[in-house]
Structure 1
Amino acid sequence: MTKVKKTLFVCTIIMSVLSCATKNNVKATESTTKLRFVDEYVLPDDLTFGETSIGGLSGIDYANGNWYAISDDSNSPRFYKASVSYNIEGFKSIEINSVIKFKDADGNLLPNGIVDPEAIRYDNETIVWTSEGNINDGLKPFVRIADTNGRFVNEMTLTNRYLPNTDPSLGPRHNGVFEGLALSLDKQGYWVAMELPLKEDGVETTLNVANSPVRIAFVNKETGRFEKEIVYELDKVARPAINGTTFELNGIVDLIEYDTNRFFVLERSYSMGYDDGGNTVKIYDIDASKATDVSSIKSLKGASYTKVTKKLLFNFENIRKELTNGIVDNMEGLTFGPDFNNGNRSLVVVADNNFSQYGPQLNQFILFEVEK
């Protein structure tokens, strides 16, 4: 296990930027939130539990003293319950306590290859989780409810725009669907974030283009239906792919609502060819209080709407030198943990190591203190 204890302070500048209320623009809000990097913890790459490999950790949540982490292994979709111990000085330990495999309504294990688990939240004795499906193979994504034993309880009703489409100009992009998931602050439902724009909404980001609006949808848990949708604009890809590679990508990987219409959004840019992992990861503080509900807009191309305001809260480049081998790995999940003794919130971010299929990666956990 690798353990690093540093106290690098990174804070946002308190600012208020005035802009005209023109198409797709809003007035930026003030923010005094600060994130202080506390520590890193890395689980061994060869760690196993219950005849499963610990890896692919794509989402994380904390509730009632328990930690939950979902694995994106499509051949054995599952989540883990864990104990994570830390204080204001850093991590003490992370231990896996149990593994729970997702099941159908009859209690049977899900067949191999039909889901791509991505996000997880605990909600009142149930587990809410998402799958990106497999758009290329026509397998639909979903937002699903399970009991704490992994057994199917319910599935949310998708708006048609999120289903695979035979028209190449419509629908979700492969591996770019329901990557982020948050409980709504009022407990009435869930916020689900696309990783990439729908094809009819905009293009994928590149080094030079950032006209990539991503939908974040509210799902009413009582009716099971998608309702309000807001728009988040992605950054450009952070750096070029190198060493003979060409793959570059940027998208939302998780979010959490911390106040009414206020979210932390985890955005990750990836470019191939780098020894440091190729990831440029940022946490944004976003304000959706003036964002337009675009649920009735079929295509965002050329449409008039107000997107959320985003403000950079933390750039992981500022702590790269403090992390194992200078690697900012494939960050995919974030959650608030128990408050520190000083009353400030803790925030934990986890990386999906892809089971090191594409080269050595890390089961990496990053701990922050949220200061006001």
Structure 2
Amino acid sequence: MVIARVLVGAALPLAFVGPGFGSVDFGSTAPPSPVPHITYVNSVGMPDTERYAGEVIGGLSGIDYDPARDRYVVISDNRGEQGPVRLYTLALPIEGGAASGPVFDGMTVLRDADGNPYAPGASDTESVRWNPGTGGYLYASEGAARAGVGGFIREASADGAFLRDLPLPEAYRPVLGADGVIVSGIRDNLGFESMTVSPNGAVVSAMTENALAQDGPAANSQGPTPARLLRLDRAGGAAVGEWQYPADAVPTGAIPEATGVSEILAVDDRSYLVLERTMIPGSGFTGKLYLAGIDGGGDGRMSKQLVFDFADVMQDSDCVEGITWGPALPDGSRSLVVATDNNFGRAGKTTFHLLAVDAAP
């Protein structure tokens, strides 16, 4: 599958204008280093009919790994319409240097600020991370912008109980005009698809899937969409910086609504792996991993450099939506696990891709 690429190092013909940003063009900065060398190892899948605790396992949109327990947590983007809003724990054994089938061993129902399971349509959970040192979770929701419901980044206990929300800047709150069109804030289904925690646990970073309404156009074929990266102090919740990230233009024949940033993963305090995915009807899904870095001055722009393209190793990657560092592989390389969203049988399959990561010399 052929997908248009953003040319790193070239000036891009779009300005980014948003509250607190001023006008910043899409010129590139030096990529972060070292640039990782990423190779494909194998993939394992599971049927759409598989259940755990009576609920169909599907819509897996975020994944994170706990090395102390050798367990993963995955979150479903079910909006409370296919059972409760929930996350799962599982093992993903690596045998002979390759991943074998997932073994699910726990399910947690997430609860709202009133202590109740989420009402249908009240959330759109897309990303999850173990909350460092607490035994609980951090998770992100896109909200329901058309209904005026904003996204959130939320902390939960190990049993799924609400603990607190990290405060978000006003710019992310969806505002609808008189005609019902979103005039500022997160667009519907294009909000906080991705979230990660810095290696030292001090900073929570989240990125919108596409541009906020006031920042520029959503994904289209004419050029990149300026997604926003938001960094928050994990302890106090204060915003500590925002950057723009030029998510790829929509490739020829692809679905705009399925194109954008689906996850980020902290590499170090200044660098991220950014997962972008799209869908081309008749061909399926594909995804790309970029290494992206923030500048040293605060609000501004991010660099990006392509480091892995699923189209180079398979025609259809399924709907890649979650990424996490995994355990060390037998050859000493670091593993990277990518989880896919089967959209509850509507598009794609539930798959776990195993990649190997080595830093370039």
* Fold agreement, TM-score > 0.5: yes
String of CA shifts for 1:86-107, please: whole Å, max 9, x gaps. 1463112311101100023564
Paired residues in the alignment total 328
What fraction of aligned residue pairs are identical, expressed as a percent?
28
Partner SS state of residue 183, structure 2 = coil
Distance 1:24 1:233 in 2: 7
Structure 1 residues 248 and 288, CA gap change in structure 2 (3 angstroms): same
Distance 2:275 2:167 in 1: 25
Which of 304, 317, 332 is equivalent to 1:310? Answer: 304
Q: Does residue 207 of the first structure (1) align with residue 224 of the second (2)?
A: no
Which of 128, 132, 142 is equivalent to 2:142? Answer: 132
Contact 1:88 1:340 in 2 (8 A): no
Distance 1:27 1:225 in 2: 27
The answer for the alignment partner of 1:115 in structure 2 is 123
Contact 2:62 2:323 in 1 (8 A): yes
The answer for the alignment partner of 1:102 in structure 2 is 110
CA displacement at 1:108 relative to structure 2: 2.9
Structure 1 residues 106 and 173, CA gap change in structure 2 (3 angstroms): closer
String of CA shifts for 1:25-55, please: whole Å, max 9, x gaps. 2432354411110000001111001011000
Q: How does 1:1-372 map to 2 (within 5 A)?
A: 23-29=25-31, 31-63=34-66, 64=68, 65-75=70-80, 76-87=84-95, 89-105=97-113, 107-123=115-131, 124=133, 125-167=135-177, 168-210=182-224, 212-241=225-254, 249-271=258-280, 273-274=281-282, 276-277=283-284, 279-290=285-296, 293-294=298-299, 305=300, 307-320=301-314, 326-357=315-346, 359=347, 361-372=348-359
Contact 1:68 1:120 in 2 (8 A): yes
Contact 1:206 1:249 in 2 (8 A): no
The answer for the alignment partner of 2:15 in structure 1 is none
String of CA shifts for 1:230-280, please: whole Å, max 9, x gaps. 111111112214xxxx75542111011112311111011234x32x32x23
Partner SS state of residue 103, structure 1 = coil
Distance 1:136 1:108 in 2: 23
Question: TM-score, length-normalised on structure 2?
Answer: 0.85
The answer for the alignment partner of 1:299 in structure 2 is none
Distance 1:88 1:32 in 2: 27
Contact 1:87 1:340 in 2 (8 A): no
- Give 1:69's aligned amino acid: V
Runs of at least 5 residues in structure 2 that lack an aligned partner in the other structure:
1-7, 12-23
Distance 1:208 1:289 in 2: 26
Structure 1 residues 286 and 88, CA gap change in structure 2 (3 angstroms): farther
CA displacement at 1:204 relative to structure 2: 1.6
The answer for the alignment partner of 2:5 in structure 1 is none
String of CA shifts for 1:127-161, please: whole Å, max 9, x gaps. 00011110001112110000111111111112111
The answer for the alignment partner of 1:5 in structure 2 is none
Distance 1:119 1:327 in 2: 22
Distance 2:96 2:308 in 1: 19
Contact 1:136 1:174 in 2 (8 A): yes
CA displacement at 1:289 relative to structure 2: 3.5
Contact 1:286 1:311 in 2 (8 A): yes
The answer for the alignment partner of 1:13 in structure 2 is none
String of CA shifts for 1:178-226, please: whole Å, max 9, x gaps. 011100123112001100101111112222222x211110111222233
CA displacement at 1:23 relative to structure 2: 4.5
Question: TM-score, length-normalised on structure 1?
Answer: 0.83
Which range moves more in the overlay, 22-31 or 248-257?
Answer: 22-31
- Give 1:315's aligned amino acid: D
Runs of at least 5 residues in structure 1 that lack an aligned partner in the other structure:
1-15, 295-304, 321-325
- Give 1:189's aligned amino acid: V
